[in-house]
């Protein structure tokens, strides 16, 4: 039986899962679904010209069809989590925390639990963000103005559904917990979902939120010691690379044709979103569970090499893409200069599509498809 609860906001408590919960997924059982309603003045459009008008967008669409992986068949979920030898030195702890008196006071079991919860918190934001991307992509099918863009948005919608599925399964089976959505991420998703302008949805999702996701995925892919998670993130990154390329290529001509005041409005939105992603998407929830204050956790993250690397990954992608689509305007440049990120502006943008990377075949390794080297 299906039980539906309508709530005014997302859950605020951590959800945990047991072996019984996992077993119920394969049997008939009562299901409770929790819905939060949002309303948007979405303006859709038919398009009666079915011809191929943009060869890049159509090629990205064809690649999406060709590399349409299946999380049930193309990922080896039986891969064991790497276990360290009993005589191996234990990890000293997250950078920045390891020298803090509160960290040193934790037991080895608490330190291990801290790491497990930190991973669960990070991947939970991936899960929630992918649901937001799924909803936005479905909106773009209706409101994108051209036939090619509608087709690509439809293929992206299926990509995002896979991403929600795969991160949910990993969290259920590996982490056994799901953390609530970060309020700042929820704010960004709400803004993009409820704005009536289709091009702001493109800017918010394809350039900003997908750019954020790629930065986070790069960090996880480069640092995780779990081969299963590396496979999952590698496949998702491949899809996200196409999505950002779609956004940059589709938006660059459109934005430059807008009146100056509308360009500046969108540039300001992009800047404000970057501020949120830079300063407010850091979660202190796990650290606070272990006795650290909010301010202590923020200070540690901001000073850590990992936190700095994430912000570098973020703006290395974001700034060149904003410049390419015309949103790094003369009026907004000084604000990005204050953030110290304009030195990234001449790096490679995603409008210059690396077709050789996107066209690499998926290869099979021990029964699981992974990205070819």
pLDDT band per the 50, 70, 90 thresholds, residue 367? very low
Residue 80 CA: distances (Å) to CA of 8, 103, 174: 39, 28, 10
Predicted local confidence at residue 211, as pLDDT: 84
Predicted local confidence at residue 131, as pLDDT: 96
Predicted local confidence at residue 362, as pLDDT: 73
Domain ranges of the chain: 2-82+96-371
Predicted local confidence at residue 1, as pLDDT: 64
pLDDT band per the 50, 70, 90 thresholds, residue 260? very high
Mean pLDDT of 357-369: 64
Radius of gyration of the chain, Cα coordinates, nearest whole angstrom = 21
Whether pLDDT at 369 is above 60: no
Contact in structure between 338 and 224 (CB atoms under 8 Å): no
Residue with tokens 């409008």: 351
Mean pLDDT of 277-288: 84
- Helix orientation angle between 55-66 and 227-256, rounded to the nearest 10 degrees: 160
- Which of 42-46, 90-94, 294-298 comes out lowest in average pLDDT? 90-94
What is the tens place of the pLDDT at every residue in 91-150?
A: 566 777 888 999 999 999 999 999 999 999 999 999 999 999 999 999 999 999 999 999
Compute the distance between CA of residue 172 and CA of residue 58 in angstroms, rounded to an integer. Answer: 36
Indicate the SS3 state at residue 370.
strand
Torsion of CA 14, 15, 16, 19, to 10 degrees: -170
Strand partners, 4: 33
> pTM of this prediction?
0.90
2-82+96-371 to CATH, choices 3.40.47.10, 2.40.50.140, 1.10.10.10, 1.10.620.20? 1.10.620.20
What is the tens place of the pLDDT at every residue in 202-257?
A: 999 989 888 888 888 888 898 899 999 999 999 999 999 899 999 999 998 889 89
């Amino acid at each position: 039986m299906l039980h539906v609860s309508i709530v005014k906001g997302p859950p605020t408590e951590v959800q945990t899962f047991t072996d019984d919960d996992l077993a119920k997924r394969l049997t008939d059982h009562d299901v409770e679904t929790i819905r939060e309603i949002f309303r948007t003045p979405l303006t859709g459009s038919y398009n009666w010209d079915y011809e191929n008008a943009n060869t890049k967008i159509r090629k990205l669409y064809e690649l999406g069809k060709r590399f349409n992986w299946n999380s049930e068949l193309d990922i080896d979920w039986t891969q064991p989590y790497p276990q360290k030898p009993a005589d191996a030195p234990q990890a000293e702890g997250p950078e920045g925390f390891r020298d803090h008196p509160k960290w040193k006071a934790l037991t080895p079991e608490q330190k291990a639990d801290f790491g497990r919860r930190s991973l669960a918190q990070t991947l939970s934001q991936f899960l929630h963000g992918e649901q937001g991307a799924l909803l936005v992509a479905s909106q773009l099918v209706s409101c994108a103005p051209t036939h090619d863009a509608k087709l690509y948005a439809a293929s992206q919608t299926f990509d995002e559904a896979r991403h929600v599925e795969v991160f949910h399964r990993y969290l259920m089976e590996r982490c056994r917990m799901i953390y609530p959505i970060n309020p700042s991420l929820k704010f960004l998703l709400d803004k993009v979902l409820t704005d009536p302008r289709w091009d702001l949805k493109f800017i918010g999702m394809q350039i900003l939120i997908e750019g954020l996701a790629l930065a986070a995925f790069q960090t996880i892919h480069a640092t995780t010691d779990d081969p299963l998670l590396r496979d999952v993130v590698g496949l998702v990154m491949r899809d996200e690379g196409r999505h950002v390329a779609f956004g940059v290529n589709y938006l660059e001509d459109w934005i430059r044709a807008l009146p100056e005041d509308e360009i500046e409005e969108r540039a300001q939105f992009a800047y404000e979103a970057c501020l949120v992603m830079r300063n407010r998407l850091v979660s202190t929830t796990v650290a606070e569970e272990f006795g650290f204050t909010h301010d202590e956790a923020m200070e540690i993250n901001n000073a850590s090499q990992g936190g700095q690397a994430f912000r570098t990954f973020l703006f290395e992608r974001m700034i060149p893409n904003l410049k390419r689509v015309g949103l790094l305007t003369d009026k907004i440049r000084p604000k990005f200069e204050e953030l110290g990120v304009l030195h990234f502006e001449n790096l490679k943008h995603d409008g210059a599509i690396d077709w050789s990377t996107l066209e690499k075949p998926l290869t099979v390794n021990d029964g699981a498809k992974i990205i070819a080297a």
